[in-house]
Amino acid sequence: MPLEDNLEETILDAAPQAENAQAAVWNGLAGRNWIEMQESLDRLFKPFEDVLVEEVSLCHARRVLDVGCGPGTTTLAVARLPWVKGRSTGIDISEPMIGAARARAEREGSPARFICANAQSYPFEPGSFDTIISRFGVMFFDDPIAAFANLRSAATDHTELRLVVWRSPAENHFMTTAERAAAPLLPKLPVRRPDEPGPFALSDDRRVRTILEESGWTQIELRPVDVDCTLPETELIPYLSRLGPVGRMLSEMDERTRALIIDTVRPAFDRFVHGSEVRFTAACWMVSGRATMRRSRG
């Protein structure tokens, strides 16, 4: 059977997933808010889309898997490359986001495919992809070693891995400003822990190397990538009040309390505001690895 036919079989939605914290978050308010702010976030993170598209080009990719693809922005960008010829597949745990991605693909007339499933456990067709990428989508696995081992099973023996992940909170002050400013008013605000699923789960380079080595990847490298990001000042309050742990807590509050907290948090961002723009540097890793040939047992 041709590989394209095998790949076609893998795009069927996975069976209903077991409930877990990340599924609840991204199939709920977080997923809906991300879609509603999609245009703003696409502009904000466009530099990382460009970085990954360039990496895919350098890898001479033909069949690409985008992990944690969200509304499909990077998946669709990769699908436009002439040598990929649309053989770009996105996977995400969020049903609302995958719905938005499929709608975008239909509007574009793109042959890109989208799977609504958990990449940690989805039964990929073995050897389906020669390049696996992610833009901020692989930091949320409950069991990252199992997840990357599962992705290794979807790879050929020469598949390239390219991941953009956040470095530490200390290097990304913009990302944590809302939490720090709101903490005195939100005593139940969850504390970030570096070994738990979340944006900074892969910020420690030693942990990343251990995870990838134990899950079957080799030639692992982490390269610092610092990107200047901009956001219209008019979009700052929607950003800080709808995304992340502060946004999730604000959604449960009455309008008066919500307004009070926003009024308290907003001035903490003043140092990032330059006239009509918000500017900050995103400190990330470009993680690369390779699925080298498995040795047969004698």
Give the pTM. Answer: 0.89
Q: Is 274 helix (H, G, I), strand (E, B) or coil?
A: strand
What's the pLDDT score for residue 294? Answer: 59
**3-class DSSP string for 8-36:** HHHCCCCCCCCCCHHHHHHCCHHHHHHHH
d(Cα 219, Cα 139) in Å, to the nearest integer?
20
- CB 166, CB 197: distance < 8 Å: no
CA 74/CA 53 separation, integer angstroms: 8
Q: Which phi and psi angles does 277 have, rounded to 5°? A: -120, 150
Cα separation, 277 vs 176, in Å, equals 19
Chain centre to alpha carbon of residue 268? 26
Instruction: Give the pLDDT confidence score for residue 195 in this predicted structure.
Output: 82
Task: Tell me phi and psi for residue 190, to 5 degrees.
Answer: -65, 140
* Spatial CA neighbour of 166 closest among 227, 234, 111, 118: 227
Asked if residue 138 lies in contact with residue 67, where contact means CB atoms within 8 angstroms, the answer is yes
Bridge partners of 274? 277
Which two tokens mark 121? 């456990």
* Rounded (10°) CA dihedral 18, 24, 28, 29: -170
Give the 3-state secondary structure of residue 287.
Answer: strand
Q: Spell out the per-residue pLDDT of the chain, length 298, in tens.
A: 343 433 443 334 443 343 477 888 888 888 888 999 999 999 999 999 999 999 999 888 899 999 999 999 999 999 999 989 889 999 999 999 999 999 999 999 999 999 999 999 999 999 999 999 999 999 999 999 999 999 999 999 999 999 999 999 999 999 999 999 999 998 888 888 878 899 999 999 999 999 999 999 999 999 999 999 999 999 999 999 999 889 989 988 899 999 999 999 999 999 999 999 999 999 999 999 999 865 544 4
Burial class, 165, CB count within 10 angstroms (exposed 0-12 / middle 13-18 / buried 19+): buried
Spell out the domains of the chain, with CATH numbers in brackets.
3-170+192-228+283-290 (3.40.50.150)
Q: What's the pLDDT score for residue 135?
A: 97
Note the maximum CA span of the chain: 70
Task: Please give the structure tokens belonging to residue 122.
Answer: 């989805």
